């Protein structure tokens, strides 16, 4: 019996040793570091297959030049006696690329021209950035964004030799303008003639469909928000960051939020994540992607309801050379904002949402939309998209009390002093009052007093809640850091803050 028991025990021991090995054979392989497939890219990528069936073979007819517009037969021989032999030699809206230098410009011609010009375009813009800014970032050792990215410390603006911030502060706007000394002139689009939406490399690496062939993103990653950014919901504040370190996309939104959002909100999120044709990202010959694409989604730009510093041109200006660079803003706190759009002052999230895909996606021209896809989304789905946008909340600010003011039991003396400057000498609260640090109005800083550019007129004031996570700053991103932003307003508003006062103000802004 003891011998039998020994044999049975040995068999159990052997089984215990074998089972993990068997399980390891049947288990899924370890996850790859390769990014997950992009569902949008997958749906528009045609697979190459072997041409084995007769109907798959290209015939002489298939390869003939008969299909070229220039080889079309005349409907009447009488056309030969008419002007231009009856041919339309001007711009034809659907066929010709917009902004082509001549009619009948092909996609291949534009592609080759832009690709050849790209290095020179990048070189010229890089020289401008290096002349204006110190591009080697200095990172804070202790102040980080929600998911751990350290914020960059400024100021980064380069001053002309012999100029100091103290000397500038003592000068009048006329003196600064006449000497061309203003350190924060408008930051231009790298290629204003082409214009359009430009995405940072870190986002393109994950979503290659956002890659343009004519220009690349221009600012160092250290001066941009986190990627992926944290995501907060005002209907579930106890959950904190609900992104879980993922970029919310059409691939994963249902898995992430099926137990958190209502069906209406999920439907709105689905539409916010669905690509629609846009000026540079579409199937037409004047696109700026090597291959035709479906477009971009609302949350490609407002990623996770926030931003990664993508920029484009304001659609609200003409002629073309008067258009300015416009940074993508965060949607955090949308539920409490009363006007929308940097210039348009739209009065509801629904109107803003509908306007974006009807015209802003197409540089403010609805006729462009007809060429590139003409998306029409009914008002029911627009309201669902708006409701989802109204769920996006600010990051927690543990040092603020329910009224949005500093809890002095938790704040440092520097932060308390900074709040006093914010509400007093700094005049920040005039446009950014607590608790949400915005006044739902548009303001004109009249920057033409300081620069040789014409100024931009009134622009919407944006909330300062969570501001440390939204660099770069101002509507065109010309201020890379909070320190730069304080320097900018010190000059523009004539505040004459000393360096310690500016440091205190930055310390307060970091805890909002």
Lowest mean pLDDT among 43-47, 111-115, 339-343: 43-47
Q: Tell me if 506 sits within 8 A of 483, measured CB to CB.
A: yes
Q: What's the average model confidence in pLDDT over 212-231?
A: 96
Over residues 492-506, the pLDDT tens digits come to 999 999 999 999 999
Residue range 155-167: mean pLDDT, rounded: 94
Instruction: Report the pLDDT value the prediction gives residue 94, as an integer from 0 to 100.
Output: 64
Is residue 189 over pLDDT 60?
A: yes
Tens of pLDDT, residues 40-68: 888 877 788 888 888 778 888 888 887 77
Can you give the pLDDT at residue 83?
Answer: 79
CA distance 155 to 481: 7
pLDDT at site 271: 95
Confidence label for 215 from pLDDT (cuts 50, 70 and 90): very high
- Which residue in this structure is represented by tokens 């137990």? 259
Which of 265, 282, 278 minimizes the C-alpha distance to 388? 265
Distance CA 226, CA 494 (A): 33
Question: Residue 141 pLDDT more than 80?
Answer: yes
Q: What is the pLDDT of residue 5?
A: 45
Bigger pLDDT: 41 or 145?
A: 145
Question: Which residue in 363, 393, 243 sits closest to 304, CA to CA?
Answer: 243
Q: What is the average pLDDT score of the chain? A: 88
Chain centre distance of CA 497: 33
Q: At what angle do helices 499-510 and 413-423 cross, to 10 degrees?
A: 100
Q: Indicate whether 191 pLDDT > 60.
A: yes
Name the pLDDT band for 255 (thresholds 50, 70, 90).
Answer: very high
Per DSSP, the three-state class of 262 is: coil
Which residues is 157 bridged to in the sheet?
133
Q: What are the DSSP calls for 97-111, one per residue?
A: PTT-SSTT--HHHHH
What does the pLDDT look like over 402-450, one tens digit per residue?
999 999 999 999 999 999 999 999 999 999 999 999 999 999 999 999 9
pLDDT reading at 2 higher than 60: no
- Write the pLDDT tens digit of every residue in 27-46: 444 555 677 778 888 887 77
Q: Residues 447, 224, 288, 357: is their CA dihedral positive or negative? A: negative
DSSP sequence for 208-251: GGG--SS----S-GGGS--SSPP--BTT-GGG---STT----TT
* Pairing label, strands 459-460, 442-443: antiparallel
Instruction: Please check the confidence at residue 13 and state whether its pLDDT lies above 50.
Output: no
Per-residue pLDDT at 16 exceeds 50: no
- Confidence label for 23 from pLDDT (cuts 50, 70 and 90): very low
Is the per-residue pLDDT at 308 higher than 80?
yes
Residue 328 has pLDDT above 80, yes or no: yes
pLDDT at 53: 81
* H helix or E strand, kind and range, residue 41: helix 39-43
Q: How confident is the model at residue 465 (pLDDT cuts 50, 70, 90)?
A: very high
What is the mean predicted confidence (pLDDT) over 230-235? 96
Q: In this predicted structure, which of 69-78, 153-162, 188-197 has the lowest mean pLDDT?
A: 69-78
Residue 126 has pLDDT above 70, yes or no: yes
Could you tell me which residues come within 8 angstroms of residue 20 by beta carbon, excluding any fewer than 6 positions away? Answer: none
Written as six digits, the tokens of 329 are 């803003």
pLDDT at 361: 80
Sign of the torsion angle spanned by Cα atoms 361, 365, 366, 368: negative
* pLDDT tens sequence across 72-100: 777 778 877 877 777 767 666 666 776 67
Identify the residue with better confidence: 376 or 331: 331
pLDDT at 76: 77
pLDDT at 232: 97
Question: 319 is written with which tokens?
Answer: 């002629």
Mean pLDDT confidence for 246-266: 95
DSSP string computed for 128-147? HHHHHB--S-EEEEEEE-TT
Closest C-alpha among 202, 209, 201 to residue 37: 209
pLDDT at residue 473 is higher than 60: yes
Residue 400: what pLDDT?
97
Q: Are 474 and 455 in contact (CB under 8 A)?
A: no
| The pLDDT of residue 18 | 37
pTM of the predicted protein model: 0.86
154 vs 41, higher pLDDT: 154
Residue 11 has pLDDT above 60, yes or no: no
């Amino acid at each position: 019996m003891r011998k039998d028991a020994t044999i049975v025990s040995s068999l159990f021991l052997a089984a215990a040793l074998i089972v993990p090995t068997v399980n390891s054979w049947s288990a899924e392989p370890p996850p790859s570091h390769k990014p997950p497939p992009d569902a949008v890219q997958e749906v528009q990528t045609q697979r190459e297959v072997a041409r084995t069936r007769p109907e798959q073979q290209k015939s002489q007819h298939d390869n003939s030049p008969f299909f070229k517009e220039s080889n079309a037969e005349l409907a009447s021989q009488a056309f030969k006696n008419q002007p231009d032999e009856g041919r339309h030699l001007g711009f034809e809206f659907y066929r010709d690329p917009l902004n082509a230098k001549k009619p009948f410009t092909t996609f291949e011609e534009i592609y080759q021209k832009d690709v050849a010009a790209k290095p020179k375009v990048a070189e010229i813009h890089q020289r401008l950035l290096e002349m204006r800014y110190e591009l080697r970032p200095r990172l804070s050792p202790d102040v980080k964004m929600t998911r751990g990215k350290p914020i960059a410390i400024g100021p980064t603006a380069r001053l002309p030799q012999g100029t100091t911030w103290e000397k500038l502060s003592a000068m009048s706007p006329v003196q600064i303008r006449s000497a061309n000394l203003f350190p924060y002139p408008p930051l231009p689009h790298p290629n204003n003639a082409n214009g359009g939406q430009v995405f940072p490399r870190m986002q393109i690496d994950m979503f290659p469909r956002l890659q343009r062939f004519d220009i690349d993103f221009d600012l160092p990653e250290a001066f941009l928000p986190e990627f992926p950014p944290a995501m907060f919901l005002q209907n579930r504040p106890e959950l904190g960051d609900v992104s879980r370190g993922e970029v919310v996309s059409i691939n994963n939104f249902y898995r992430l939020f099926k137990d958190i959002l209502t069906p209406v909100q999920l439907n709105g999120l689905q539409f916010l994540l669905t690509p629609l044709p846009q000026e540079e990202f579409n199937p037409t010959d004047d696109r700026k992607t090597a291959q035709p694409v479906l477009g971009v989604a609302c949350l490609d730009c407002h990623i996770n309801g926030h931003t990664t510093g993508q920029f484009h041109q304001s659609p609200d200006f003409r002629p073309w050379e008067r258009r300015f660079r416009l940074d993508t803003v965060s949607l955090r706190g949308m539920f409490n904002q009363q006007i929308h759009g940097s210039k348009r002052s739209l009065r509801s999230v629904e109107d803003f949402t509908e306007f974006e895909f009807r015209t802003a996606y197409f540089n403010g021209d609805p006729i462009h939309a007809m060429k590139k896809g003409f998306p029409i989304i009914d008002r029911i789905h627009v309201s669902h998209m708006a409701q989802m946008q109204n769920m996006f909340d600010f990051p927690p600010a543990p040092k603020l009390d329910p009224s949005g003011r500093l809890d002095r039991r938790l704040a440092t003396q520097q932060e308390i002093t900074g709040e006093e400057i914010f509400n007093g000498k700094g005049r920040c609260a005039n446009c950014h009052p607590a608790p949400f640090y915005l006044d739902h109005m548009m303001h004109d800083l009249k920057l033409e007093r300081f620069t040789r550019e014409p100024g931009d007129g009134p622009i919407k004031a944006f909330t300062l809640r969570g501001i440390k996570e939204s660099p770069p700053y101002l509507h065109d991103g010309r201020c890379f850091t909070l320190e730069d932003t304080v320097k900018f307003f010190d000059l523009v508003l004539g505040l004459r803050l000393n360096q310690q006062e500016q440091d205190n103000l930055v310390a307060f802004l970091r805890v909002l």
